[in-house]
Structure 1
Amino acid sequence: MTISSFNSLPQDLVIELCMHVVSTSSTPHEDLRSLRASCSRFFAASKEKIIGRRMPVKKMDGFRWSDIKNYLAFLKYCAESGNLEASYLLGLQEMYTSKDKKIKNSGLNHLLNAMEGGHKASTYVAGIILFKKPETRSLGTRILNKLAALGLSESSSSSTAPESESVMSGGNLLIQTCRREAAATIRDISWKRWHLRSRSPTCANRACGCVVKDHVVIDRWAGDDERRRFCSSRCKWMNELYEFCQLV
């Protein structure tokens, strides 16, 4: 393509070219920087919010380790452009690497913004964080119950059990997936761990938290992905909080 033919392209098409480059690149931030340096049209196109919204931020590990300050600034730009994954990563970064209450609150807000956009792992982490604090436990419970119900609706077996009963059960594949994904991401950005007292039964009901297989009670605290029955949402999510902290 000649310079004159490139200059004749509509700007919308130049933006599309930018999106294609960053979305298919293994080093999207470096390629975006090269595009910005190449000409004024690519520079202008790269500043469009849709580029930040489509940026594959999970591919920026090299940038994160080499220049954390600029990485976080760029992540914030992507989050402000509507990039849900950027909001999720920025939220975890601020929640788990800072002791400053204001920064932690900002991190929670980023997670809630991603949750509003339908980001499932953000929904899980926001729910767990809110559930952990007694003063926000009811809100955390509602968020986690909604996520569990979504997991049941995505499961082929969800139609075989009433939702109100199933949400009280363990073995929700979406919850397990979000737990592992969130824990792995947190471990990647921080070596800090939550410290909880030794796990104990969540309530006085001896049947609460027991593993059930073929309608037979097995035991109370067997493997984390076993199907369990809980007497309340509070008991279920208290168990989930422990399962999550075991992985982080």
Structure 2
Amino acid sequence: MATRSASSSPSLVHALPHDMAVEIAGHVAATSPLPMEDLRSLRASCQAMRAACSNRDVGRRVALEREAAAMRWADHDRYLAVVGILSGAGNPKACFLAGIALIFVHRSAHQGAELLGRAAMAGHKVAAYVLGVLLYTYNTDNAVDDVARRHMRQVEGDEEVVSGDDDVAIAKISNSECVRCRAQAVEAVSQATWKMAPELPKTTTVSNMVTPEEDASHRCEVSGCGAREAWSDSAVFCSEECRIRYECAMFISQLPLTVANFAA
């Protein structure tokens, strides 16, 4: 009885449903130490995987930060091309990085804000932080201010309710998550704009922080508003308004000097 040769037997990969092939490629994109390199190899394996790797869902799941460390400096042009491709697929990290570049390098605030908005909608907290700060800082529209506050609440989550004097419940408005997001945002801006300055960016120190009380445009009279929490770089505020004003001042003051006045 004749047996079918190995060369004529159908590929198991070809037999996979497209949705399953996409899920496999997406898992590689999300978990591989070098996702772009492994996806390239997967695409070359067969036509079915080529189609799967081209799916937008796979692009959205690529863990870009794993490629960034090596590719950003070793092959910067390719890195920028990858960021562009993945931002087109809706990858949150790529949308964030592309948005930062559009705003701070190319001075395209509207397009950059759109990309930051996509990243924020996908749960990217640092994008939500930057978008909230910029919207609040550079507009005079109350409706836009409300959007900015909503982005800041996305960063910090629900406010903690604590007991005050006479057991009156008060809100504890913290910026602990903002501190983390601010550091990442300033680093992203510095990396995007490093070619714009011959020297390392100068940033403010803790002693130079602007508190709500020191902001001439908003002098908070509540005692303890903006006070630092023990053993922490975060602070506690009396209201969302004070917190977002503080973060606006802090973020802009910590940007590289070459881009701090980008909107001027």
**Shorter-chain-normalised TM-score: which range?**
0.7 to 0.9
- Check 1:26–1:209 CA distance in 2 against 1; reply closer, same or farther (3 A cut): farther
Q: Which deviates more, 55-64 or 44-53?
A: 55-64
Q: SS in structure 2 opposite 1:160?
A: strand
- From 95, 98, 101, give the equivalent of 1:87: 95
1:188 paired with 2:179, answer: no
Shift of 1:225: 1.9
Q: Which deviates more, 70-79 or 17-26?
A: 70-79
1:238 paired with 2:245, answer: yes
Shift of 1:50: 1.0
In the alignment, which residue of structure 2 is the partner of 1:112? 117
- From 159, 162, 168, give the equivalent of 1:160: 162
Counterpart residue type for residue 235 of structure 2: E
Shift of 1:60: 1.9
In the alignment, which residue of structure 2 is the partner of 1:143? 147
Counterpart residue type for residue 61 of structure 2: R
- Check 1:116–1:204 CA distance in 2 against 1; reply closer, same or farther (3 A cut): closer
Listed as ranges, the gaps of 5+ residues in structure 2 are 1-5, 165-169, 256-264
Q: TM-score, structure 1 length as denominator?
A: 0.73
- Check 1:205–1:133 CA distance in 2 against 1; reply closer, same or farther (3 A cut): closer
Counterpart residue type for residue 116 of structure 1: M
In the alignment, which residue of structure 1 is the partner of 2:234? 225
Point out the structure with max Rg over C-alpha. 2
Q: Equivalents in 1 of 2:203, 2:137: separation in Å?
A: 12
Q: Equivalents in 1 of 2:86, 2:227: separation in Å?
A: 48
Counterpart residue type for residue 89 of structure 2: S
What does 1:17-28 correspond to in 2, within 5 Å? 17-28=24-35
Q: Equivalents in 1 of 2:182, 2:188: separation in Å?
A: 10
RMSD: 3.7
Q: Is the 8 A contact 1:87 1:114 kept in 2?
A: yes
Q: Is the 8 A contact 2:119 2:128 kept in 1?
A: yes
Q: Equivalents in 1 of 2:123, 2:85: separation in Å?
A: 19
- Check 1:32–1:172 CA distance in 2 against 1; reply closer, same or farther (3 A cut): same
- Check 1:44–1:238 CA distance in 2 against 1; reply closer, same or farther (3 A cut): same
In the alignment, which residue of structure 2 is the partner of 1:126? 131
In the alignment, which residue of structure 1 is the partner of 2:175? 172
Q: SS in structure 1 opposite 2:235?
A: coil
Listed as ranges, the gaps of 5+ residues in structure 1 are none
* Number of aligned positions between the proteins: 229
- Check 1:84–1:30 CA distance in 2 against 1; reply closer, same or farther (3 A cut): same
Shift of 1:237: 2.8
Cα deviation code 1:82-110 (max 9, x no counterpart) = 32222111111222222xx4x34321211
Q: Is the 8 A contact 2:129 2:152 kept in 1?
A: no
What does 1:191-230 correspond to in 2, within 5 Å? 191=194, 201-203=214-216, 207-208=220-221, 211=224, 225-229=234-238
Q: SS in structure 2 opposite 1:227?
A: strand
1:78 paired with 2:86, answer: yes
Shift of 1:206: 6.0
Q: Is the 8 A contact 2:22 2:53 kept in 1?
A: yes
Q: Is the 8 A contact 2:203 2:253 kept in 1?
A: no
- Check 1:114–1:209 CA distance in 2 against 1; reply closer, same or farther (3 A cut): farther
Shift of 1:143: 3.2
Structure with the bigger percentage of helix: 1
Q: Is the 8 A contact 2:62 2:91 kept in 1?
A: yes
Q: Equivalents in 2 of 1:146, 1:43: separation in Å?
A: 40
Counterpart residue type for residue 52 of structure 1: G
Q: TM-score, structure 2 length as denominator?
A: 0.69
